Structure 1
Amino acid sequence: MSKHALLESINSPAELRALERKQLAQLASELRDFLIESVSQTGGHLSSNLGTVELTIALHAVFDTPTDRLVWDVGHQCYPHKILTGRRQGMEKLRMRGGIAGFPKRCESEYDTFGVGHSSTSISAALGMAHAARLKGEARKVVAIIGDGAMSAGMAFEAMNNAGVGDADMLVILNDNEMSISPPVGALNNILTRLTSSKTYNAAREAGRHMLGFAPPLLELARRAEEHVKGMIAPGTLFEEFGFHYYGPIDGHDLDALIPTLENLKKLKGPKFLHVITKKGQGYKLAESDPILYHGVGKFAACDGIQSAKGPGKLTYTQVFGDWLCDMAAADSRLIGITPAMREGSGMVRFANEFADRYYDVGIAEQHAVTFAAGMACEGLKPVVAIYSTFLQRAYDQLIHDVALQNLPVVFAVDRGGLVGADGPTHHGTFDLSFAACIPNLVVMAPADEAECRQLLSTAFAHDGPSLVRYPRGAGTGVVPSAALDTLPLGKGEIRRQGQGVALLAFGSLVAAAVAAGDELDATVANMRFVKPLDVELIVELAGNHSLLVSIEENAVIGGAGSEIERVLNERGLNVAVLRLGLPDRFVDHGEQGQLLAELGLDKDGIVRSVRERLANS
């Protein structure tokens, strides 16, 4: 008999609901074991999913999914949900080309009620669904499941502010594991810690747990008793002030506590808030002891855990940034490092340790991070905001109004520019060159390799105005950066290869592919470096002695750098053919980075093919 026999018998939540209550603990054990085995073979998010096993089982056991709506926040904890909703076998190709996504995706399953990937959207979406059900006269329940890290974002509180004053019939579950991706920060975390660590309150919580398990006729008495005890110990709790009925905290790994509580809350009307305590990495000792390391993993041997990489290997762009940040901070005391909860992902661990008084993790609050940096810049400091391209989108208004409009010297170190791979369309950085280049005062740079990344970061820091340095996920071409903090001339590119007939004007991550294509085509290759200001002199020169200019960028082709090159040529009346290569006008699915670039014609072979087709047609 298979060691996952019970789990393998579950292909839908209806089959889960048909199980006897005593079987659910065994199901949780098998599900957790399957998760460890599966994710170790494919890579993906691990510790967050291990922490939601019992909660997911309890939700599907109590609520009539998919008629009742479950809305997961961020969605990196949705693997147990996917496994229990008919996608267990699909885990073999998790986040691979043609396989299931690593986040909830509406087109993938009717159980994925809302597509996510960015944090703090669940309460807003669930509130919209709850009001829609009321307006349509449909009897359905709506549940938002949000982590304590995601609760730090303003959007979550905007939604609660809206939900608490109406008659929305919804349940918000705070999955409190004392973590986001990095360790928790901020006043909200302090409130939750005080609440859950109080000995008096914990005694009351245990009493409340038993009360909530009473039969329905005693439910109202139990609720009143619990509210009375809470009122004496934690009067006017934050969530109740928003108009929610607050319950908890309860143990998120105790099915005997979770299921009766959810069953009783299901019967209550209005906005409700359940505080659930879970442990990230639960049930896998290695992940429990280091939930950050096991947050997002590659393939590893489950029995041995993640092993440190052997040999030095190539530097990643993230490491280049982290080293530069520390070196520049040592050279200039004005440098301040800011991150919206991405210390590890953005390469800031060393900086946080060595320059703790100049390091600020503001939590998952991208808008605040940018305006916070603007305030510091007003006082003569030089803030560096380390942020992923996909997350900078969430602070676009602040980038324009609070930084660029005031021409403040804030440096944006934008990681994960271009295609990121397995995390898919919610995390691809495909729009930044387009949305940044149109902003006045903002200098936009794209380094071709690791050495140039360090140089352009120094150039950005030296610039007396807002600047953005955009670099890709992963390692570069192996060019070792200099230890110096040298700058490059503002708005000037360079010729990497001299050819004839065709000129390839490449930006950032695709310069290496352009050079390789140039060798095969005998084409001139320009490393443009700057998207804004463009090297107009170089463009005009290339237009004068080439019959075809080809712009190449790992960015949306609409409104990208290629469009700006065409504008420069048109303004000067230069009649030269232009071929624009970039990302198509659609969201690119998940898959391995190199595979995606090849499919989109942005590797060496694809560039050569596109150029030859254009020459043949003209």
Structure 2
Amino acid sequence: MSTTQEHPVVHAQPAASREALEPAGSAVPGSLLADIDATGDPAQPGQTDVEIPGDPAALRALPPEDLPALARTLRRRLLEITSRSGGHLGPNLGVVELTIALHREFDSPREAIVFDTGHQAYVHKMLTGRAGLEGLRSAGGVSGYPDRGESEHDVVENSHASGSIAWAHGIDRARRLAGDPATTVAVIGDGALTGGVGLEALNELASDIGTRTVVVLNDNTRSYAPTVGGLARHLQDLRDGTVSAGEDLFTALGLHYIGPIDGHDHAALAPALAQARIAAEDPASSGVVLHVVTRKGAGFERAEADVMDHWHATGPFEIEPPTEAEVYPPADAPAPTTTWTACFGEAVLEAARADGRVVALSAAMVDPVGLTPMQRELPGRVLDVGIAEQLAMDTAAGLAHGGAKPVLALYSTFLNRAFDQLLLDVALHSEDVTVTLDRAGVTGDDGPSHHGIWDLAVTAQVPGASLWAPRDGERLAEALPSALGTGGPSVVRFPKGACPSELPATARIDAGDVLAGDPELPIDVLVVSIGALAHRAVEAARSLREQAGDDGPNVVVLDPVQALPLSSSIVDLAASAGAVVTVEDGVAERGIGAALAVRLAQRATVGTPMPPVRTLGVIQEFIPHAKRDAILAENGLDAAGIEASIRSVLG
């Protein structure tokens, strides 16, 4: 049961309204970050910034009056670093004071601090010996997420939301078994708390009397977009004061609730965290929830004024406000490049205009997955279910069964979280659900947890699944209506970044689009290209042709267009070739190439052996952050690597 009455609730100020927790004048115009801190307190005449301490012990030694100046230093450093490298600026600007307070109250790494998601951990890194974030998100440099290889202070290398409470509670259970009295902390956003595993963990934590787990709920009212659902409304009521502490959901569950606290107020955070520790150390108490209210992008006007996502993630930028020429580029400026995401956004809006049954779903990422144009024009037909991919997949199954045509738009990496629902709720029941996967394949800067290299392997195991991996934007525009018109689960995958130029077919055969070579002649090597690597495969084939001349091998590059299920035509064509090379932006030992190799092996005999097969893809390992092209080249997926593989199979 809750022990709220035994441990008085700490309030920084009366919880009367959202505005009461948002000091006026807090945003910094332009780059004037050195002149003001996030609470709106101007720097005093002669006041100097405080250098970033080298470790948490040095941070704890600072007098409280130095903390506002330290916060200014951290914000300015965040701007300087991300202006060069890009990164998750908005979330980190919002947790400066909170992270300072966490490391002053808790003794990391002895007392584990688990950040959920890890994109809010830049300040944590800066306060634990990585003040310069050297090489942020570049090969060999500091990761954009916690990384155990960098520091003992980094506990979970996470960027998938909602798991921190379960992690922290598990660590706490293990330490109690070992007789270790340390407190464990989970830092979770209100957006991540919409995820099922976060709510499951709260439910379990509430029943564990004697746990020393503190949940710091970093409530900034957003994930990418404003947080949705009943819990979001409840947190709003707590911020507004229409629901009082003790009448809150957390207390009703049996947790010890403290808050809401102004997360940009050093003087409020320190006693609140101390009170959370006292409550956590009470052997008669269950878990503690400290409700902290922050502002995403706090302290930088351009981030705070950005209503879309408060600079959640940014590429390199100019710290000074853009000039008029930058805002309104000259007429002769090159046209902006169309991205895969934008191309999908146009295609799904066209499909929705053409068919009133089309409904799009997002797991808290309406804008990043390209659904904003459809949401603006047809708001009633775009559903955001929060950070809950399992819920999204089952909702899509229900929509399909009810007669709608759902399109579930995800990042590829997040499909993994809903595999059970795809397999046993959608596929088992043959529901007509279309799943689109942005950021498929190697993504680059965000590292192991964001590479979308598993979706081909996952989809290939799903009975009845259809899959399209378009090679260019024109093919993506064709793939979506094809998927919507196909029964059962359908998947359309495409990579991150700019669409390549159109790659027209030189011929069309039953097995798909021929992109190079002559399918009417005996085929020495059949290159089966899946998705956006087609340009590289064609370049490899042309390079071989140019070097060998007319007497060289006939290398046919084929895009099957619909990659799954494997058609008998493509298996027949592959069986007739002298050798087969498959190319895909996924795990080499699984996926389309592996499936084709199995089909060829199953029909081979002693008298008619299967041709030699090379399945090109990425290595089955967790790939660290680096540029996409560099990772592809390292895995033999650039034109030179594909050409080398073709030569090797020719002997």
TM-score (norm 2): 0.85
Give 1:253-264 correspondences, 5 Å limit.
253-264=264-275
Tell whether the 8 Å contact from 1:146 to 1:174 is kept in structure 2 after alignment. Answer: yes
Which one of 79, 92, 98 corresponds to residue 134 of structure 2? 92
Aligned twin of 1:165: 207
CA distance in 1, matches of 2:378, 2:140: 44
Tell whether the 8 Å contact from 1:491 to 1:532 is kept in structure 2 after alignment. Answer: no
Q: Does 1:576 align with 2:619?
A: no
Give 1:198-209 correspondences, 5 Å limit.
198=241
Which one of 232, 245, 248 corresponds to residue 259 of structure 2? 248
CA distance in 2, matches of 1:139, 1:94: 35
**Deviation for aligned residue 1:7:** 5.1
**Deviation for aligned residue 1:501:** 2.2
Which one of 434, 437, 454 corresponds to residue 411 of structure 1? 434
Aligned twin of 1:494: 513
Aligned twin of 1:267: 278
Aligned twin of 1:386: 409
Aligned twin of 1:365: 388
1:62–1:439: structure 2 CA closer, same or farther, 3 Å change rule?
A: same
**Deviation for aligned residue 1:33:** 1.1
CA distance in 2, matches of 1:428, 1:502: 30
Aligned twin of 1:130: 172
Aligned twin of 1:536: 568
1:303–1:275: structure 2 CA closer, same or farther, 3 Å change rule?
A: same
Aligned twin of 1:110: 152
**Deviation for aligned residue 1:240:** 1.3
1:129 is matched by which residue type in structure 2? Answer: I
1:324–1:293: structure 2 CA closer, same or farther, 3 Å change rule?
A: farther
Tell whether the 8 Å contact from 1:146 to 1:173 is kept in structure 2 after alignment. Answer: yes
1:604 is matched by which residue type in structure 2? Answer: A
CA distance in 2, matches of 1:246, 1:280: 23
Aligned Cα RMSD in Å? 2.0
Q: Does 1:450 align with 2:450?
A: no
**Deviation for aligned residue 1:491:** 8.5
Q: Secondary structure at the match of 1:345?
A: coil
Size of the aligned set, in residue pairs, is 573
CA distance in 2, matches of 1:436, 1:303: 46
1:556 is matched by which residue type in structure 2? Answer: V
Tell whether the 8 Å contact from 1:492 to 1:534 is kept in structure 2 after alignment. Answer: no
Aligned twin of 2:486: 463
Q: Does 1:45 align with 2:88?
A: yes
CA distance in 1, matches of 2:510, 2:137: 38
Aligned twin of 1:217: none
1:5–1:438: structure 2 CA closer, same or farther, 3 Å change rule?
A: farther
Q: Does 1:238 align with 2:249?
A: yes
**Deviation for aligned residue 1:130:** 0.7
Give 1:427-576 correspondences, 5 Å limit.
427-479=450-502, 492-498=511-517, 500-522=523-545, 523-544=555-576, 546-573=577-604, 574-576=609-611
Q: Secondary structure at the match of 1:594?
A: helix
Q: Secondary structure at the match of 2:311?
A: coil
Give 1:40-79 correspondences, 5 Å limit.
40-79=83-122
Question: Residue by residue, what CA displacement relative to the aligned partner does 1:274-295 show, whole Å, maximum 9, x if unpaired?
Answer: 0000000100011011161511
1:115–1:491: structure 2 CA closer, same or farther, 3 Å change rule?
A: farther
CA distance in 2, matches of 1:539, 1:464: 22
**Deviation for aligned residue 1:56:** 0.3
Q: Secondary structure at the match of 2:538?
A: helix
TM-score (norm 1): 0.89
1:601 is matched by which residue type in structure 2? Answer: G
Tell whether the 8 Å contact from 2:183 to 2:213 is kept in structure 1 after alignment. Answer: yes
CA distance in 1, matches of 2:509, 2:465: 12
Which one of 152, 171, 179 corresponds to residue 222 of structure 2? 179
Aligned twin of 1:335: 358
* Structure with more helix by fraction: 1
Percent identity over paired residues? 40
CA distance in 2, matches of 1:394, 1:30: 38
Which one of 298, 301, 311 corresponds to residue 294 of structure 1? 311
**Deviation for aligned residue 1:607:** 1.1
Q: Secondary structure at the match of 1:87?
A: coil
Tell whether the 8 Å contact from 1:505 to 1:549 is kept in structure 2 after alignment. Answer: yes
1:528–1:446: structure 2 CA closer, same or farther, 3 Å change rule?
A: same
Aligned twin of 2:187: 145
**Deviation for aligned residue 1:305:** 5.6
**Deviation for aligned residue 1:93:** 0.9
Aligned twin of 1:485: none
Consecutive unaligned residues of structure 1, counting only runs of 5 or more, are: 202-228, 482-488
Tell whether the 8 Å contact from 2:511 to 2:573 is kept in structure 1 after alignment. Answer: no
Q: Secondary structure at the match of 1:22?
A: helix
Tell whether the 8 Å contact from 2:503 to 2:535 is kept in structure 1 after alignment. Answer: no
Question: Residue by residue, what CA displacement relative to the aligned partner does 1:394-425 show, whole Å, maximum 9, x if unpaired?
Answer: 01111011111110111111111101111111
Tell whether the 8 Å contact from 1:493 to 1:535 is kept in structure 2 after alignment. Answer: no
CA distance in 2, matches of 1:508, 1:606: 17
Moved more, 24-33 or 526-535: 526-535
Tell whether the 8 Å contact from 1:32 to 1:50 is kept in structure 2 after alignment. Answer: yes
**Deviation for aligned residue 1:5:** 7.9
Q: Secondary structure at the match of 1:473?
A: coil
Question: Residue by residue, what CA displacement relative to the aligned partner does 1:93-117 show, whole Å, maximum 9, x if unpaired?
Answer: 1111111110112222100011211
Which one of 297, 304, 327 corresponds to residue 281 of structure 1? 297
Q: Secondary structure at the match of 1:424?
A: coil
CA distance in 1, matches of 2:294, 2:645: 52
Aligned twin of 1:226: none
Aligned twin of 1:29: 72
Aligned twin of 1:209: none
CA distance in 1, matches of 2:321, 2:365: 27
Aligned twin of 2:4: none
Q: Secondary structure at the match of 2:259?
A: strand
Question: Residue by residue, what CA displacement relative to the aligned partner does 1:471-490 show, whole Å, maximum 9, x if unpaired?
Answer: 11111212399xxxxxxx99
2:630 is matched by which residue type in structure 1? Answer: Q
CA distance in 2, matches of 1:9, 1:413: 43
Moved more, 3-12 or 472-481: 3-12
Q: Does 1:400 align with 2:458?
A: no
**Deviation for aligned residue 1:608:** 1.4
2:146 is matched by which residue type in structure 1? Answer: P
1:72 is matched by which residue type in structure 2? Answer: F
Tell whether the 8 Å contact from 1:176 to 1:278 is kept in structure 2 after alignment. Answer: yes
